Structure 1
Amino acid sequence: MKMLINGKPVKASDGSEIEVINPATHEVTDTVPNATQADIEDALEIAQIGKKIWRNTSVEERVRILTKAARNIEEHKDELGSLLCRELGRPYNQCVDEALSAGANFRAFAEKMKHHMTEILPGKESDLVMVQREPLGVVICVTPFNFPLGLYAFKAAPALAAGNAVIVKPASVTPLASIRMTELLLEAGVPGEALQIVTGSGENVGKILASSPLINAVSLTGSTKVGIETASHAIRNLSRVFLELGGNDPLIILKDADLDLAVSETMMGRMYNAGQVCCASKRMLVHSKIADEYIERLCTAFRQMTLTNPFEENCDMGPLISENAACRVEEQIKHTLKQGAVCLSGGHRFQKSYFEPTILDRVTANMDVAKDMEIFGPVVPVIRFDTEEEAVAIANQTQYGLSAGVITKDYQKGLKLAMQMESGTAVVNGCGDYRTFQTPFGGHKQSGIGTEGLLMTLDEMMLTKCVVLKQIL
């Protein structure tokens, strides 16, 4: 597939390409251009034209186009799901669901833009003040490999609804479905100057885009390290940054917890997408009195899982994104075992990029995995505690603060603990992996800056301007 610059499919100016590998079969699925600096500069110059065209497009017309785009995405859900399944390795039905979610997201932000009003405030004496909002200009959307369509939509939908020109930079390992979704948006009527997609390595393409004085904002989902580097480039031109970064999210399971619920939430919050979820529950803090029974039930649930080709109907979990990713998880497990943990289930990769659902018991609060070592795979470290105060202290001892959860039959107690946890989202009787279109999603501490979601993101994609009408009354 080719990247889309000025509404046209183009190769890299030097002809270089990147192979996209199917992580389940290890075969080359397709290739995409490895953009050069000249290619990126072309896209940036075109975006200067696009921001004027799209800004001057009426809100009514923008809403019509984005609503049509939502229909296009939903009508092509099977095609998008198939592309996503081949490049990511997540079960096919879950990939189709992500495509449907992306379409719904574009529709939601288009609908909200219809109700975005200019405000009138009283001024001094006979003056009036109009508060209106204008597009930022050019917004760079840098998306990760694990939710290419969903996070594309969470970034590009509000940016486009607000009237900005957008350049999407997808992860080089999962660019295919994003390119196809861009085609569908252009077919719906988004001008080619106002929406482009540039492919290539994040280290090269991302740095050039973030450093450019021709952009006004960067919205990125990725690691904390990459987020800090991106912000350091963008701040030189005072470009805004919206960062959704790493996490090592805790799930506290109290002594009175419904263990069936605790296990089901662990499965949903840790095994989904083979554990490759930013806001997955990555540390299970379990009361000592129930830890053994919790582990026994979780082992039973693991034995019932089917790990196979993600296109198979009975597939519960596919591979990790690459062999390197699986090796990294294996190394982190070995490191944790050296620190004194015990592996009770799983712990091994197979067929290069698949990884067994894994339980690590006897994890203590001083181990790296209990603090800042984020394992991006299907691994459940169990940390035992005796008091609620101890659980909260362990939960908060990390540099991250993305999401958190607590399982208890006592909602008052659950609410109390949720309020004490340092995270952008805290869920009572659920894992932290909770997100809807409406909720403001973002992290505290080293987990990010800004929020995504219908409640707030549209405003973040616009400038506020006061227009004063003196002595008009």
Structure 2
Amino acid sequence: MTTKLSVGKMIINGKPRDSRDGQFGDVLNPTTNEVLDRVPLATAEDVEEALDVARAGFRVWANTPTHERYDILVRFAGLLEKHKSELAEILTLENGKPYFQSEAEVETGVRLFKGFAEKSKSLYGITAPLDAQAGLEKDIFMTRREPIGVMGAILPFNFPIDLFSHKVAPALAAGNAVVVKPAMEAPLTIIRIVELLHEAGVPGSVMQVVTGRGSVVGEILASSPKVNIVSMTGDTQTGIRVAQNAAKHLSRTFLELGGNDALVVFDDADIDEAVEHAAFGRTWANGQCCCANKRMIVQRSILDEFTHKLILKLKEYTVGNPMDPSTKVGPLISEKAAKTVKEQIDFTVGQGAEILFGGERLDNCFLTPTILGNVSKHTDVARDLEIFGPVLPVIAFSDDNEAIEIANNSIYGLSGSVFTKDIRRALNAAYKMETGQVAINGTGLYRPDVSQFGGYKQSGLGREGLSVTLEEMTQVKNIALRNVLY
């Protein structure tokens, strides 16, 4: 197994680069707290150079025939498949998620690049006769979709391949150039992926990766007039800052932000199924997922049974080295993250909650999955406190109206879940929940590739998915042919 990596360079114009001032940041393995690699801390001048290169690359890529871009992106998807084990190992080493989950993330990338490449071949405009409008009987009107320019993609640490693919695949398929900023905690997988994109045939001028601090790289990508599209996944406060900066030049903006998703379990639900999904959804990616079920809202009459079975289920989950096939839960991304989650658990206990299972800090960045009982609907965690770790607060409700009231009493609205055997009850709840997605008898983590994924309220702006993003990466040009008919 690899213990030390050496892929840590920015890539500008197809060439590996250090920063101008020679500054580096360490990338740690959260399982051991050992240094995996060092990556450059880009200067403002480095970012500006990458943007200048990308703007020149855009002019070339936008004029590359669709069939050539298609061939390159499909070739890249093949390289992802070929290098799946390598990429999954790098991701697990720098991110800490179990290896089987990293493999699944690579597979998602393969599907998305193939899917967006295929869809690019049918990115049609319209042609319309105008004889319905008096005086225009001899005219023809048509539209075409054209690429927009340079996209700045700002990625989080938790799903780098997945979110890179959701942003970059449609951008490239539509003919845009990209400058990507990976998270400093997990940049190595993205650097390697960009190398493979270049190997597949994407010109060096079209795809840049710039590593560094958000206060430098992210700030410039969001505020630069050289950037036409900003796509960012991260926390809500950072998203608001990005939106404010992007608005200065009216850059098209897509934000997938925080969530405190509700998982509602009604008294007629299959409790075993609900428990299975609650445990799975809250521990995937070690509990560090924006669209995970973070509030278990359970009808009072089945509260004890649900909680008892949830404890038994989490006892089956092995916490340990994420490279071990038996591990279900690995470390959090950093010791700071683990410390924060433990403080949030203790804070919630201080508001009257009770630790029913787990709640322990372990070595390095590890924390045991935690169940909190006796959680009032008035506590912070029942509303707006998003805990980014494997913590399951269980909140009781009496009737359907109270369940929806609790679920909606949050600044967030990313995703949600409803468990019941009554389809009318399920749809009634789904229609009333203020979220961008509701999974009935499934975890909110459910995200098929075609989903128009995104949030209500302070959970984001815009949507991502195979069914919508390619069009969003284009702009519509109207063309009128005057007096051509007779």
Query: TM class by shorter-chain length?
Result: over 0.9
Q: Matches of 1:384 and 1:157 in 2, distance apart? A: 42
Report what 2:55 is aligned to. Answer: 48
CA apart distance, 1:240: 1.2
Q: Matches of 2:484 and 2:467 in 1, distance apart? A: 34
Runs of 4+ in 1 over 3 A off after TM superposition: none
Report what 1:78 is aligned to. Answer: 85
- Return the match for 1:242 from 250, 254, 260: 254
Q: Which amino acid aligns with 1:202?
A: G
Report what 1:117 is aligned to. Answer: 124
CA apart distance, 1:129: 1.0
Larger CA deviation: 242-251 vs 344-353: 344-353
Report what 1:455 is aligned to. Answer: 467
Report what 2:32 is aligned to. Answer: 25
Give the 3-state SS of the residue equivalent to 2:158 in structure 1.
coil
Report what 2:5 is aligned to. Answer: none
Report what 1:163 is aligned to. Answer: 175
Report what 1:353 is aligned to. Answer: 365
Report what 1:191 is aligned to. Answer: 203
- Return the match for 2:103 from 58, 73, 96: 96
* Cα deviation code 1:406-435 (max 9, x no counterpart): 000111210110111000001111111111
Q: CA RMSD in A?
A: 0.7
Q: Which amino acid aligns with 2:225?
A: P
- Return the match for 1:338 from 350, 355, 369: 350
Q: Which amino acid aligns with 2:408?
A: N
Report what 1:468 is aligned to. Answer: 480
* Cα deviation code 1:80-115 (max 9, x no counterpart): 001001000111121111112112111100000011
Q: Which amino acid aligns with 2:40?
A: P
| 1:303 maps to 2:315 | yes
Structure 2: which 5+ runs fail to align?
Answer: 1-7, 131-135
CA apart distance, 1:460: 0.7
Q: Matches of 1:357 and 1:121 in 2, distance apart? A: 59
Report what 1:270 is aligned to. Answer: 282
Quote the sequence identity (%).
49
Q: Which amino acid aligns with 1:337?
A: V
Q: Which amino acid aligns with 1:249?
A: D
Q: Which amino acid aligns with 1:51?
A: F
Report what 1:409 is aligned to. Answer: 421
Confirm or deny: 8 A CA contact 2:32 2:364 kept in the other structure: no
Q: Which amino acid aligns with 1:3?
A: M
- Return the match for 1:259 from 244, 247, 271: 271
Report what 1:134 is aligned to. Answer: 146
Report what 2:325 is aligned to. Answer: 313
Larger CA deviation: 57-66 vs 430-439: 430-439
Q: Matches of 1:235 and 1:326 in 2, distance apart? A: 35
Q: Matches of 1:93 and 1:3 in 2, distance apart? A: 28
Q: Matches of 1:305 and 1:371 in 2, distance apart? A: 27
- Return the match for 2:218 from 172, 184, 206: 206
* Cα deviation code 1:54-87 (max 9, x no counterpart): 0010011000100101101111000000100100
Report what 1:180 is aligned to. Answer: 192
CA apart distance, 1:118: 2.3
Q: Matches of 2:128 and 2:353 in 1, distance apart? A: 61
| 1:286 maps to 2:298 | yes
| 1:328 maps to 2:353 | no
| 1:223 maps to 2:235 | yes
Report what 1:34 is aligned to. Answer: 41
TM-score (norm 2): 0.96
Structure 1: which 5+ runs fail to align?
Answer: none
Q: Matches of 2:220 and 2:227 in 1, distance apart? A: 11
Confirm or deny: 8 A CA contact 2:123 2:471 kept in the other structure: no
Report what 1:386 is aligned to. Answer: 398
CA apart distance, 1:203: 2.0
Q: Which amino acid aligns with 1:107?
A: K
Q: Matches of 1:301 and 1:17 in 2, distance apart? A: 43
CA apart distance, 1:122: 2.1
Q: Matches of 2:327 and 2:368 in 1, distance apart? A: 14
Q: Matches of 2:217 and 2:37 in 1, distance apart? A: 20
Aligned residue-pair number: 473
* Cα deviation code 1:338-374 (max 9, x no counterpart): 1111111111110021111111111111110011100
